[in-house]
Amino acid sequence: MEHKISEKLPFKVRLSYGLSGYTSFITWTLFSMYGLFFFTDIVGLNPTFAGAIISLGTLWDAITDPIVGSISDNLKCKYGRRRPLIIGVAIPFAIISVLLFTNFGLSEGASKVYYVVIILLYYTAQTVLDIASSSLGSEMTLDYDERSTLATFKNFFCMVVMIIISPTLMMVTYFDEKFAGYGWSATVAVFMLIALVFIYTLWRNTRGYEKHLENSASKFELKDIKEIFKNKSARIVMLIFAIAIFGNSINLAIQVYYYSYYVQMSEGQIASVMAYAGFLGCFAAIGIDVLCKKCSKKAAWIIACGIEGASMIALVGIFIKPGQLTMIYVLVTLMALGLAAIYQVPWSMIPDCVDVQELATKKRLDGIVFGFIAFIQKVSGAVAIALVGTILEIIGYNAAGVQTQATLGAMKAVYGFGCGGVLILTVLIVLAYPLSKKRHNDVLKALEDRSNGKEIDIKEFKDLI
């Protein structure tokens, strides 16, 4: 592999890769925000069971991440090793996503079996799409800033998802009148048609840019997992990502309950806030890119997540009262940079960690590293979702009745102090992240020297390994 420090990509390629933000984020966001609500309030499942099967799916997703990563790393195909997986999983992913939000009115027992199976199928398809597209971005360029740019384009479309799904509840109501009982299915079908167009565009316009293939023969071994943990940069990225996803999974899952029951917002008001959050998120993605390039990726995380965490603790935990819609808009504004950072900064850090991994092990396993970090992330998400379902039952949430003041107070505490405190914790952890732009360039120079037959002193990188 040729390790060029500066590799810029055409705008069309950046934009097309960015579409993977929508395709990876659309069903995941819908399910994170409305999955528990759909299971408890639409299907009628017990909150604890609903949380448990969502966690089961997330754990299955986590288990399959390294497996899919290994398959992707070693796929032999003239069209590349990532792009065939992306286009191959497109239609199954779309169909399964619709079935995930379909209520056939089955008996309780049959519904439980149905949703367990569908959740496992969904997370399998999601894993293939995520790992293949994320690994593709790592191979398209080795440039530190260009990777930040790719992550920005991807996160921009993640934020576009927030705008597009903001009228979800109103769309469900509309389609319920057209297709009795299948409002959720029809709504998700609309989102999936867009996803299929985007996947095809991504697949077509990245043709020829999956070029770093010389090390594709490297085989996965169990000791590679051990080597990942020797990579200090990767350890820190895994840790902050896992903790942030833990907090954000609780955030997304409990948000609709908090808005609906504590703040007493209507469906239209919730839709407006979601649209506003998505609109802000698009600009926040650009802001994070600027912070990454002008300061550093570490600084971007500290600033963005620090502001979001402090805002949630102060506003949700102390100041916001029922009916204060204006304060919700203030909260969403202050959270924007942090939400963008959670899904943007780690994904721009991970490819840099892959380069360090190659320096240490002489093996380039983008898919394995992406897959294992995603494994850690998703285990965290699974624990969080299971916890939300259990918390709802413990605090006395009743989907069919009026919530007590104690229940509402507990919702507020979990959303504000819990989620906000978790973000502050990640800020403290990321202070130890060692991989600056200068050190990354040193890594690339060492890789280039080694590929040219020169000896390198690995001890010079003991701060990274």
* Residue 464 domain-assigned (yes or no): no
Structure tokens at 345: 């900064």
**Do the beta carbons of residue 121 and residue 96 sit within 8 Å?**
yes
3-state secondary structure the chain: CCCCCCCCCCHHHHHHHHCHHHHHHHHHHHHHHHHHHHHHHHHCCCHHHHHHHHHHHHHHHHHHHHHHHHHHHCCCCCCCCCHHHHHHCHHHHHHHHHHHCCCCCCCHHHHHHHHHHHHHHHHHHHHHHHHHHHHHHHHHCCCHHHHHHHHHHHHHHHHHHHHHCCCHHHHHHHHHHHCCCCHHHHHHHHHHHHHHHHHHHHHHHCCCCCCCCCCCCCCCCHHHHHHHHHCHHHHHHHHHHHHHHHHHHHHHHHHHHHHHHHCCCCHHHHHHHHHHHHHHHHHHHHHHHHHHHHCCHHHHHHHHHHHHHHHHHHHHHHHCCCCCHHHHHHHHHHHHHHHHHHHHHHHHHHHHHHHHHHHHHCCCCHHHHHHHHHHHHHHHHHHHHHHHHHHHHHCCCCCCCCCCHHHHHHHHHHHHHHHHHHHHHHHHHHCCCCCCHHHHHHHHHHHHHHHCCCCCCHHHHCCCC
pLDDT at 119: 96
Structure tokens at 307: 């502001």
Please name which of 239, 270, 91 lies closest in space to residue 170, comparing C-alpha atoms.
270
pLDDT at 28: 85
* Residue 217 domain-assigned (yes or no): no
Contacts (Cβ under 8 Å, ≥6 apart) of 207? 79, 83
How many CA atoms lie less than 13 Å away from 74 in the CB half-sphere?
13
Please name which of 201, 170, 166, 150 lies closest in space to residue 23, comparing C-alpha atoms.
201
Domain count of the chain?
1
**What burial class does residue 326 get, using C-beta atoms within 10 Å of its C-beta: 0-12 exposed, 13-18 middle, 19+ buried?**
exposed
Please name which of 203, 147, 109 lies closest in space to residue 344, comparing C-alpha atoms.
147
Angle at 31 between CA 138 and CA 155, to 5 degrees: 30
Q: How far apart are CA 335 and CA 320, in angstroms?
A: 15
Contacts (Cβ under 8 Å, ≥6 apart) of 326? none
Contacts (Cβ under 8 Å, ≥6 apart) of 294? none
Please name which of 338, 351, 355, 335 lies closest in space to residue 446, comparing C-alpha atoms.
355
Contacts (Cβ under 8 Å, ≥6 apart) of 330? 315
pLDDT at 8: 80
pLDDT at 176: 86
Residue located via tokens 């780690």: 346
Q: How far apart are CA 313 and CA 396, in angstroms?
A: 23
Residue located via tokens 């939000």: 101
Angle at 97 between CA 423 and CA 51, to 5 degrees: 50
- State which residues of the chain have pLDDT below 50: 1-3, 5, 213, 215-217
* Residue 402 domain-assigned (yes or no): yes
* Residue 194 domain-assigned (yes or no): yes
* Residue 77 domain-assigned (yes or no): yes
- Count the residues in the chain: 465
Structure tokens at 361: 């092990």
* Residue 307 domain-assigned (yes or no): yes
| Structural domain boundaries, residue 368 | 11-206+223-454
Q: Count the neighbouring beta carbons within 10 Å of the beta carbon of residue 293.
A: 16
Distances (CA, A) of 4 to 140, 355, 449: 11, 12, 11
The CATH number for 42's domain is 1.20.1250.20
Q: How far apart are CA 83 and CA 236, in angstroms?
A: 29
Q: How far apart are CA 256 and CA 262, in angstroms?
A: 10
* Residue 420 domain-assigned (yes or no): yes
* Residue 110 domain-assigned (yes or no): yes
Q: Count the neighbouring beta carbons within 10 Å of the beta carbon of residue 275.
A: 16
pLDDT at 243: 95
